[in-house]
Amino acid sequence: MAVVRAMAAAYFAFRRASERHIRTLGLTAAQFDVIATLGNTDGMTCKELARRTLVTKGTLTGVLDRLERRRLIARQAEKRDRRSIHVRLTRRGEALHSRAFAAHMNYLRPYLRRAVADLDSARLSRALGRFAQAFNEARAGSPGDGQITRRQAR
């Protein structure tokens, strides 16, 4: 399927340019992932945050420590379940989120405009929305799980 191959090529090109730019914003990819996930929400528990990002439970503590040290996020005890911790962006964090997200959009826009000039943009937006949703729904237990295992690949 040619579309899949094109999508993969577009993805790698996009990823490289995007991560290069994120670094110039003073954030690592994991940090941007966390900040982007917390943006425009009231915050969430570490568990939820780990589920929604690429960052695993053990790593998350360190990432949050660094973001907290920079006063970009705040941890609060969860009242209902005292094992849990509620993580949210601080004002400073929200400001960075807005700036970084806007800057990132500005960075990406010219590339995108060049590519999608002849596509129906409303349709494309809807398609991209479904695309993101499909990935976000299917956390554990993915559809079509490659055919080779870790052992074979090594």
Nearer to a copy of itself, 76 or 133 (CB): 133
Sheet holding 85-89, edge to edge: 44-45, 85-89, 73-77
Q: Tell me the C-alpha to C-alpha distance, in Å, between residue 3 and each of 7, 11, 109, 119.
A: 6, 12, 22, 15
Which range, of 27-35, 109-117, 124-132, 133-141, touches DNA by CB under 7 A? Answer: 27-35
Closest separation in Å from C-beta 79 to a copy of itself: 30
The C-alpha atoms of residue 115 and residue 7 are separated, in whole angstroms, by 12
Question: Does 28 interact with DNA (rule: CB under 7 A)?
Answer: yes
With CB under 8 A as the contact rule, the residue among 47, 61, 65, 128 that binds a copy of itself is 128
Query: Interface residues for DNA in 57-76 (CB under 7 A)?
Result: 57-64, 66, 75
Residue 121 interacts with a copy of itself (CB under 8 A)?
yes
Helix (H) or strand (E) holding 73: strand 73-77
Structure tokens that stand for 141 in this block: 């237990």
State which residue, 61 or 106, has the beta carbon closest to a copy of itself. 106
What is the per-residue burial (b if ≥16 Cβ within 10 Å, else e) of 73-95?
A: bbeeeeeeeeebbbbebeeebbe
Nearest 5°: phi and psi at 77? -65, 140
Residues 7-36 that bind a copy of itself (CB under 8 A): 7-21, 24-27, 33, 36
Note whether 91 binds a copy of itself by CB under 8 A: no
Q: Please give the residue ranges that form the binding site for DNA (CB under 7 A).
A: 23, 28-31, 45-47, 50, 54-64, 66, 75, 78, 81-85
